[in-house]
Structure 1
Amino acid sequence: MTALKPGDTFPSDVVFQYVPWTEDKEDMTACGIPVAYNASKEWADKKVVLFSVPGAFTPTCTVNHLPGYIKNLPNLREKGVDIVAVVAFNDPFVMSAFGKANHVRGNDILFLSDPDSKFSKSMGWADPNSGRTGRYAIVIDHGKIKYAQIETEKGVVKLSSADAVLANL
């Protein structure tokens, strides 16, 4: 697969890993059981914003990228977005803790793991040196790509920001 672009169909074989949020496991030190999340199936009939960070708990991701999506959740919902998800190469336990550390409850934002950056690498959107997922944003509307952009400058959040996505919904 090459990089996704507007008009493309979202691939039919995208599976991430994640730890489902539950109230009894909302404490940072509580661990749930990772499960497979079949994004292709779950998102087939929904409007989805998927954004990727190179790593949970890294400065740009934690200070500049994720907070914009948390702040803009109501605006994204007003634009008809059913699911907001963040993905990184980190394992599902780290991604779960990343959500908890940022006080995201329930399924407001899904914190997904792209093991070995498989999805990101398939599009050429993983860092060739570190193997981490790139910093990007994709809007999927009922299986069709409406927006797909990757940041080309390290530490920059412009094309993949919540504001950029909102402007393109």
Structure 2
Amino acid sequence: MATLKSGDAFPSDVVFKYIPWSEESGDIKACGIPINYNASKEWAGKKVVLFSVPGAFTPTCSVNHMPGYIKNLPQLRAKGVDIVAVVAFNDPFVMSAWGKANEVRRDEILFLSDPDAQFSKSIGWADEASGRTSRYAIVIDHGKVSYAQIETERGAVKKSGADAVLASL
């Protein structure tokens, strides 16, 4: 597939790995059980913000990228966003722990795993050198992409940050 762009239909076969948040597995040391998360199906009739980071627990991702989304959740909801999700190449256990470390509860933000950066590769937005997911943001509005931007500058959070996404809504 070519690079995803505004106006495109969101692909119909996107499946991530995911560990749902629960009270029982809310402790960072609790593992939980990974399940498939069929994003294409779950997001079909919703407005979704999906942002991607190269890796959980990394400096730019943890200090500059994630906090903006946590802070701006109320503003995103006010703009009609039903789901906010972050994706990285990390396994679902790491993504779940990253959510817990950021004190995100009750799936306020979904922490999804893109194993082997399969989705990111399918849209042309995986880092070729490392094989990781690139830093990008996509807004999907009832199955149509309304915003799709990738960071081209290493360590930058200009096009994929919560402020840029909010400005696009």
Superposition misfits of 4+ residues, deviation over 6 angstroms = none
* Mapping for residues 36-115 of structure 1, pairs under 5 Å: 36-115=36-115
What's the CA shift string for 1:63-102, capped at 9, x where partnerless?
0000000000000000000000000000000000000000
> Percent of counterpart pairs with the same letter?
78
* Mapping for residues 126-137 of structure 1, pairs under 5 Å: 126-137=126-137
What root-mean-square deviation, in Å, do the aligned CA atoms of Structure 1 and Structure 2 show?
0.4
Paired residue type of 2:8: D
Structure 1 CA distance, aligned partners of 2:91 and 2:25? 17
What's the CA shift string for 1:120-160, capped at 9, x where partnerless?
01111011010000000000000000000000011000000
Q: What is the aligned partner in structure 2 of residue 25 from structure 1?
A: 25
How far 1:107 moved relative to its partner?
A: 1.2
So what's the TM-score if we normalise by structure 2?
Answer: 0.99
Structure 2 CA distance, aligned partners of 1:128 and 1:25? 35
Q: What is the aligned partner in structure 1 of residue 161 from structure 2?
A: 161
Q: What is the aligned partner in structure 1 of residue 152 from structure 2?
A: 152
So what's the TM-score if we normalise by structure 1?
Answer: 0.99
Structure 1 CA distance, aligned partners of 2:135 and 2:34? 23
What's the CA shift string for 1:6-51, capped at 9, x where partnerless?
1100000000000000011111100100000000000000000000
Structure 2 CA distance, aligned partners of 1:122 and 1:78? 31
Structure 2 CA distance, aligned partners of 1:108 and 1:73? 8
Matched residues, number: 169
Q: Please, which runs of 5 or more residues in structure 1 have no aligned partner?
A: none
Structure 1 CA distance, aligned partners of 2:131 and 2:139? 23
Q: Please, which runs of 5 or more residues in structure 2 have no aligned partner?
A: none
Partner SS for 2:77: helix
How far 1:57 moved relative to its partner?
A: 0.2
